[in-house]
């Protein structure tokens, strides 16, 4: 496996795990006070996006087209969610994590779109 695909898998793993790690913090913020805190839909979306990102990694490494689309769409939606967290986050933690997540998700989307085809990338990686 070429290091580019390995780095992509690591970046997706970090972002997916990061989404799942933020769920308890968003739940805690949601239950303390209802003003300006993450809505329950954002908490659920974060968990779903994290799980979808992690689920796409093995398929992406195998060159599956569905995994490419799942990773791209989940990172795109997470970018929107992260930007909302930056501008409307209830605390400094949400703003900082949202900014980092937005930058890494955009980098991930750019790297994914540079793959002309997941199967072609896999062939290049194994040769």
Domains of the chain, by residue range, sit at 3-126
What pLDDT score was predicted for residue 32? Answer: 60
Read off the pLDDT of each residue in 30-51 and give the average, rounded to a whole number: 78
pLDDT at 63: 83
pLDDT (0 to 100) of residue 67: 92
Find tokens 């933020």 and name the residue: 22
pLDDT at residue 49 tops 90:
yes
C-alpha distance from residue 108 to each of 70, 78, 103 (Å): 12, 11, 9
Name, in order, each residue with C-beta under 8 angstroms of 17's C-beta and a sequence gap of 6 or more: 50, 54
91-101: per-residue pLDDT in tens?
788 788 889 99
Q: What is the mean pLDDT of residues 97-118?
A: 85
């Amino acid at each position: 496996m070429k290091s580019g695909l390995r780095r992509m898998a690591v970046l997706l793993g970090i972002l997916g795990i990061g989404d799942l790690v933020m769920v308890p913090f968003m739940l805690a913020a949601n239950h303390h006070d209802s003003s300006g805190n993450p809505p329950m839909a954002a908490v659920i979306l974060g968990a779903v996006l994290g799980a979808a990102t992690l689920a796409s990694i093995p398929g992406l490494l195998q060159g599956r087209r569905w995994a490419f689309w799942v990773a791209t769409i989940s990172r795109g939606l997470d970018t929107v969610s992260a930007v909302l967290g930056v501008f409307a986050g209830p605390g400094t933690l949400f703003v900082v994590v949202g900014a980092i997540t937005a930058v890494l998700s955009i980098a991930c989307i750019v790297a994914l779109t540079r793959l002309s085809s997941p199967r072609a990338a896999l062939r290049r990686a194994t040769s």
